[in-house]
């Protein structure tokens, strides 16, 4: 192991131990300490500074044992499980979330991501099977987009379903509907990040139209804070 890698490993171990001690010391009866849990879930300065998602999940489950009613650690845990390809555990966590809370925007978005990942990443499936799973993802996405009409993460996930549908079938209708809804959200909110997302997504669709290839990258656009 190189010096840089050793240093990173040592630093991340120290960070893991520090975060673990912080979580152990948290009292969920104090709002300021609950806010500490939310801050620890941060993509950049919190758990995101630990590269191993499985280690992140250990800490996230620890947070949930301390503060089981906090949504953000649950969002982050679901997201990590999907990224790790642990689809059944992710589905269980989503069901638990829906049981304990009302479905919110982030959970709806991860529900779409899970359905899409199963369609695209599950090994050994024929294209016909992937297309069936993609249509289920489309149904989920369309329903979520109707419920969370200006949620850019939900609408972006819907567009990703459209991209994969176009790549596998040559049909652009799913993408066209999804991108039109994202553009409506852009007009309504004036959010510059939505404008950037639209440009990236349309560039991907152009690549598919030209040569049928685009790398699935839900993580690329899944950078929203919960």
52 vs 114: CA distance, rounded Å: 20
SS3 101: coil
pLDDT for residue 45: 72
The predicted model scores a pTM of 0.85
pLDDT for residue 48: 86
Q: What angle do CA 79, 82, 84 make, to 5 degrees?
A: 110
Per-residue pLDDT of the chain (226 residues; tens, 9 = 90+): 343 334 454 477 888 998 998 888 887 776 766 777 878 887 667 888 898 999 999 999 999 998 888 999 999 999 999 999 999 999 999 999 999 999 999 999 999 999 999 999 999 999 999 999 999 999 999 999 999 999 999 999 999 999 999 999 999 999 999 999 999 999 999 999 999 999 999 999 999 988 755 554 444 444 454 5
pLDDT for residue 14: 85
Three-state secondary structure of the chain: CCHHHHHHHHHHHHHHHHHHHHHHHCCCCCHHHHHHHHHHCCCCCCHHHCCCHHHHHHHHHHHHHHCCCCHHHHHHHHHHHHHCCCHHHHHHHHHHHHHHCCCCHHHHHHHHHHHHHHHHHCCCCCHHHHHHHHHHHHHHHHHHHHHCCCCHHHHHHHHHHHHHHHHHHCCCHHHHHHHHHHHHHHHHHCCHHHHHHHHHHHHHHHHHHHHCCCCCCHHHHCCCCC
pLDDT for residue 3: 32
């Amino acid at each position: 192991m190189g010096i840089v890698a050793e240093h990173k490993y040592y630093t991340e171990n120290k960070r893991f131990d520090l975060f673990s001690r912080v979580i152990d010391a948290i009292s969920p009866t104090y709002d300021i300490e609950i806010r500490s849990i939310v801050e620890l879930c941060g993509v950049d300065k919190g758990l995101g500074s630990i590269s191993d998602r499985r280690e992140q999940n250990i800490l996230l489950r620890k947070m949930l044992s301390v503060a089981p009613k906090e949504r953000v650690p649950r969002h982050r845990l679901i997201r990590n499980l999907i990224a790790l390809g642990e689809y059944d555990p992710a589905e269980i966590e989503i069901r638990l979330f829906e049981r304990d809370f009302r479905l919110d925007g982030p959970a709806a978005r991860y529900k779409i991501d899970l359905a899409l990942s199963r369609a695209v990443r599950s090994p050994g499936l024929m294209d016909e099977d992937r297309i069936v799973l993609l249509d289920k993802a489309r149904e989920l996405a369309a329903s979520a987009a109707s419920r969370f009409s200006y949620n850019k993460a939900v609408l972006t996930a819907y567009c990703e379903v459209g991209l994969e549908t176009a790549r596998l079938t040559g049909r652009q209708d799913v993408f066209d509907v999804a991108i039109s809804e994202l553009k409506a959200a852009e007009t309504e909110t004036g959010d510059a990040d939505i404008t950037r997302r639209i440009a990236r997504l349309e560039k991907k669709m152009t690549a598919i139209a030209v040569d049928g290839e685009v790398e699935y990258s839900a993580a690329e656009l899944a950078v929203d804070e919960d």
